[in-house]
């Protein structure tokens, strides 16, 4: 039997866990099984409280959530195995990103915190689990993010065509893949879905704007868009990373007037995401010819349409056109990073994160 790997991740939307069971080839992979396991609503509410108002939580809350999430990640791994009919003994390792609750790489004593007790995952599945992928890069002066560009390079780099891989999760990030050889690039461009999701939850009590229909019903407010684009993060040079600690409801509330039409604000937020991504691609990948889109934002047809309008020099494609479903890219990346850890191979890209050197990422939790 071949060695399989499991990848687990929950992003800034905090709606659940993406799990994939992967078999890796030389420069290819096969998704044997995949599923998305939603969080219980009570857990999601507690996570939102902790991440949006960190001053309101204490160590007991963090410890409880760490254990609860460990159980959820364990169960997600077991479910993806059951769906495939694969015995845990045939899985070499699990790569668990965990749930980010704080990412502060710019502090004097920088830190990043992902919870989801990896010992519970390892002992509960009988499979070694690699977790805490970001800390090693941070210890070497890096941002600890984004970590997926080396995986993008491994799977998607072309010998002939310059490509960008665009992941639109809560935060959007790009990976710049020059044709052939040479250093890759990558960074967080700014908000992806996080502000749009927060706004529609507040005004329509739904989790996300399906296909961007609500945004498409509104009209962009130019003065509001200009005020948003004036934020210094967008002008900052890479390496850089960000999260909901920065782009959140408080950031938005400081800019949106009380009399603004809610659909128009949603349209403006969608334009903010499209504009900042397009500006980043034009500035840092001016020769790009193919833009491979993944993440939840790949399903937002209005967002993809507006991106296409702004980036007429590049063809927009789904990562599915290159062999990997857009919903599975990030989970597969952490399965790949687990494989790198088990093999003692570096997983970061210093040219992306700003770390002083390459290093093996993650801490190994033994099942036995």
Q: In the structure encoding, which two tokens stand for residue 137, read together?
A: 């890069």
Same domain, 255 and 170: yes
Q: Which whole-number Å values give the CA distances from 16 to 35, 99, 220, 261, 296, in the listed order?
A: 10, 9, 31, 31, 12
Same domain, 294 and 333: no
Instruction: Determine the average pLDDT of the residues in 361-368.
Output: 97
Same domain, 183 and 279: yes
CA 121 to chain CA centroid, nearest Å: 21
Question: Is the confidence at residue 2, as pLDDT, over 80?
Answer: no
Same domain, 53 and 161: no
pLDDT tens figures, 167-201: 999 999 999 999 999 999 999 999 999 999 999 99
Same domain, 109 and 242: no
CA dihedral 131, 134, 139, 145 (to 10 degrees): 170
pLDDT at 52: 78
Same domain, 127 and 216: no
Same domain, 139 and 95: yes
pLDDT tens figures, 317-339: 999 999 999 999 999 999 999 99
pLDDT at 297: 96
Dihedral class, residue 230 (left if φ above 0, else alpha if ψ from -120 to 50, else beta): alpha
Q: In the structure encoding, which two tokens stand for residue 260, read together?
A: 């603004």
Same domain, 118 and 165: no
Question: Is the confidence at residue 139, as pLDDT, over 70?
Answer: yes
Domain boundary among 289, 305, 322: 322
Exposed (0-12), middle (13-18) or buried (19+): which is 235, by Cβ within 10 Å? Answer: exposed
- Answer yes or no: are the C-beta atoms of 156 and 284 closer than 8 Å: no
pLDDT at 13: 80
pLDDT at 367: 97
**Which CATH number fits the domain that encloses residue 128?**
3.30.420.40
pLDDT tens figures, 230-271: 999 999 999 999 998 899 989 999 999 889 999 999 999 999
pLDDT tens figures, 73-120: 999 999 999 999 999 999 999 999 999 999 999 999 999 999 999 999
Return mean pLDDT, the chain. 96
Q: Which of 308, 251, 277 is nearest to 190 (CA)?
A: 277
pLDDT at 305: 97
Supply the DSSP string of 201-269, one letter for each residue: HHHH-SSS-GGGHHHHHS---HHHHHHHHTSHHHHSPSS----TTTSSHHHHHTTS-TT--HHHHHHHH
Domain count, the chain: 2
A 10 A CB-CB count for 341 gives: 23
Same domain, 46 and 165: no
Determine which helix (DSSP H) or strand (DSSP E) holds 278, and give its type and residue range. Answer: helix 262-284
Q: Please give the Cα distance from 124 to 135 (Å, whole number).
A: 24
Same domain, 17 and 79: yes
User: What is the DSSP secondary structure assignment for residue 321, as one 8-state letter?
Assistant: G
pLDDT at 326: 97
Determine which helix (DSSP H) or strand (DSSP E) holds 173, and give its type and residue range. Answer: strand 171-177
pLDDT tens figures, 140-166: 999 999 999 999 999 999 999 999 999
End-to-end alpha carbon distance in the chain? 21
Residue 87 backbone dihedrals phi, psi, to 5 degrees:
-75, 140
Same domain, 305 and 213: yes
For the chain, helix (H) and strand (E) counts, in that order, are 14, 12
CA 288 to chain CA centroid, nearest Å: 22
Residue 316 backbone dihedrals phi, psi, to 5 degrees:
-90, 130
pTM for the complete prediction?
0.95
Provide the residue range defining the domain that includes 158: 149-322
pLDDT tens figures, 29-63: 999 999 999 999 999 999 988 887 778 788 999 99
Beta-sheet pairing, 29-38 with 171-177? unpaired
Question: Is the confidence at residue 1, as pLDDT, over 70?
Answer: no
Same domain, 199 and 306: yes
Question: Is the confidence at residue 12, as pLDDT, over 90?
Answer: no
Query: In the chain, what percentage of residues exceed pLDDT 70?
Result: 99
Q: Which whole-number Å values give the CA distances from 12 to 28, 48, 63, 118, 180, in the listed order?
A: 28, 10, 19, 19, 33
Q: In the structure encoding, which two tokens stand for residue 2, read together?
A: 């071949």
């Amino acid at each position: 039997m071949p060695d399989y790997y499991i990848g687990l991740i929950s992003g800034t939307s905090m709606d659940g866990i993406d799990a994939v069971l992967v078999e890796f080839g030389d420069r290819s992979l096969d998704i044997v099984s995949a599923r998305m396991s939603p969080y219980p609503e009570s857990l999601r509410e507690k996570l939102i409280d902790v991440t949006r108002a960190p001053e309101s939580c204490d160590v007991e809350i963090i410890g409880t959530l760490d254990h609860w999430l460990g159980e959820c990640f364990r169960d997600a791994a077991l479910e993806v195995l059951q769906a495939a009919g694969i015995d845990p003994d045939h899985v070499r390792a699990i790569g668990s990103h965990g749930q980010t609750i704080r990412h502060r790489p710019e502090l004097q004593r920088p830190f990043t915190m992902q919870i989801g007790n990896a010992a519970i995952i390892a002992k509960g599945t009988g499979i070694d689990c690699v977790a805490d992928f970001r800390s090693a890069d941070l210890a070497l002066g890096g941002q600890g993010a984004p970590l997926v560009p080396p995986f993008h390079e491994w799977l998607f780099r072309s010998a002939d065509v310059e490509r960008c891989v665009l992941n639109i999760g809560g935060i959007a990030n790009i990976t710049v893949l020059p044709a052939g050889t040479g250093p890759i690039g990558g960074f967080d461009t700014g908000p992806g879905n996080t502000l749009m999701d927060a706004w529609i939850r507040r005004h329509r009590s739904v989790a996300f704007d399906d296909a961007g229909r609500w945004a498409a019903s509104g009209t962009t407010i130019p003065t509001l868009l200009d005020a948003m684009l004036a934020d210094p993060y967008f002008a900052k040079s890479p390496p850089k990373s960000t999260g909901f600690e920065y782009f959140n409801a408080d950031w938005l509330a400081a800019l949106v007037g009380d009399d603004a039409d809610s659909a128009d604000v949603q349209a403006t937020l969608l334009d903010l995401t499209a504009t900042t991504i397009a500006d980043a691609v034009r500035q840092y990948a001016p020769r790009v010819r193919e833009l491979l889109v993944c993440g939840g934002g790949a399903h937002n047809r209005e967002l993809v349409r507006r991106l296409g309008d702004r980036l007429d020099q590049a063809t927009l494609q789904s990562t599915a056109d290159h062999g990997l479903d857009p919903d599975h890219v990030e989970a597969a990346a952490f399965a790949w990073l687990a494989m790198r850890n088990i093999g003692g191979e570096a997983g970061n890209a210093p040219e992306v994160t700003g770390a002083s050197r390459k290093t093996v990422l993650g801490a190994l939790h033994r099942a036995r």
